[in-house]
């Protein structure tokens, strides 16, 4: 069995995906596998992907039609042979010690580890240069200097210190996280009834917590989110629908419902 499987779902973001895969070159060896789930990608994306040259061979899972974030990640989990599954988005550059720190975080106990996200905004020209030249130590220094913490980061950290697992179980996210594969299988993986954007990872974190897995933050595990345009109206609509579905699933847990509603009122200005 491998030490870890890195699962990366992707949807037509090749200029970012190839950079993320390049950044993993110094971190992947025979004990680590990288699984890319192509979720309804175009023929051009699949064709151009074959031109990427890496010092390791990723495992490909191809869904011809878009199946959504939950099902895409589940297909990666089922393909994985690693003891630990590391979730990495296709638009997040992992820091040089990203994989090592995720693996080491699972040495003692059953954990769902969540790392730190930092946002950085670069042009396609800069991303192309990083890819063609390779990301150097000085480049990582530049990326760190140019990066900013995500919105409400201080508020979130303070709330976690005060409320602990009470809030962790409804704020789990998968852009930079890892869980032992057996624990994912034990809780049934992601709920594929979540469609569109949002909450499928929160729901997973809640069920992991209820099964006895401790959710733990490790702010030293960093990846850098390559900011890109999004349809915020569509995202908010999809997120609202998924929040309502999540609340219906945890109907008896009044504390978790109150916390979920409060968080979404603060962050997304949504009322339920």
Q: How many domains does the chain have?
A: 1
- Let me know: does 226 contact 16? Beta carbons within 8 Å: yes
Q: How far apart are CA 23 and CA 101, in angstroms?
A: 15
Query: pLDDT tens across 137-165, in order?
Result: 999 999 999 999 887 777 777 777 777 78
Q: How far apart are CA 168 and CA 216, in angstroms?
A: 8
Q: How confident is the model at residue 271 (pLDDT cuts 50, 70, 90)?
A: confident
pLDDT at residue 269 above 80?
no
pLDDT at residue 166 above 90?
no
Enclosing domain of residue 99: 2-268
In the three-class reduction of DSSP (H, G, I as helix; E, B as strand; rest coil), residue 92 is classed as strand
User: The domain spanning residue 193 has which CATH number?
Assistant: 3.90.550.10
Query: pLDDT tens across 113-128, in order?
Result: 999 999 999 999 999 9
User: Is beta strand 92-94 parallel, antiparallel or unpaired with respect to 176-180?
Assistant: unpaired
Query: pLDDT tens across 2-30, in order?
Result: 999 999 999 999 999 999 999 999 999 99
pTM above 0.85, yes or no: yes
């Amino acid at each position: 069995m491998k030490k870890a499987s890195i699962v990366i779902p992707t949807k037509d973001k090749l200029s970012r995906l190839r950079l993320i895969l390049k950044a993993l070159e110094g971190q992947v060896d025979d004990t680590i596998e990288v699984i890319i789930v192509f979720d309804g990608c175009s023929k051009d994306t699949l064709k151009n992907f074959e031109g990427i040259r890496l010092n390791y061979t990723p495992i490909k899972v191809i869904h011809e039609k878009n199946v959504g974030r939950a099902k895409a990640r589940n297909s990666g989990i089922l393909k994985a042979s690693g003891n630990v599954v590391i979730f990495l988005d296709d638009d997040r550059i992992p820091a040089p010690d990203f994989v090592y720190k995720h693996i080491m975080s699972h040495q003692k106990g059953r954990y769902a580890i969540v790392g730190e996200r930092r946002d950085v905004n670069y042009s396609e020209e800069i991303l192309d240069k990083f890819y063609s030249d390779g990301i150097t130590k000085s480049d990582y220094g530049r990326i760190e200097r140019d990066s900013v913490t995500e919105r409400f980061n201080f508020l979130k950290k303070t709330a976690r210190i005060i409320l602990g697992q009470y809030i962790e179980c409804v704020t789990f996210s998968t852009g930079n996280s890892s869980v032992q594969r057996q624990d994912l299988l034990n809780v049934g993986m992601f709920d594929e009834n979540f469609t569109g954007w949002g909450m499928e990872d929160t729901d997973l974190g809640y069920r992991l917590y209820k099964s006895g897995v401790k959710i733990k933050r490790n702010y030293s595990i960093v990846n850098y989110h390559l900011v890109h345009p999004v349809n915020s109206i569509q995202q908010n609509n999809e997120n609202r629908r998924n929040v309502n579905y999540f609340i219906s699933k945890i109907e008896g847990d009044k504390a978790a419902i109150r916390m979920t509603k409060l968080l979404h009122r603060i962050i997304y200005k949504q009322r339920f």
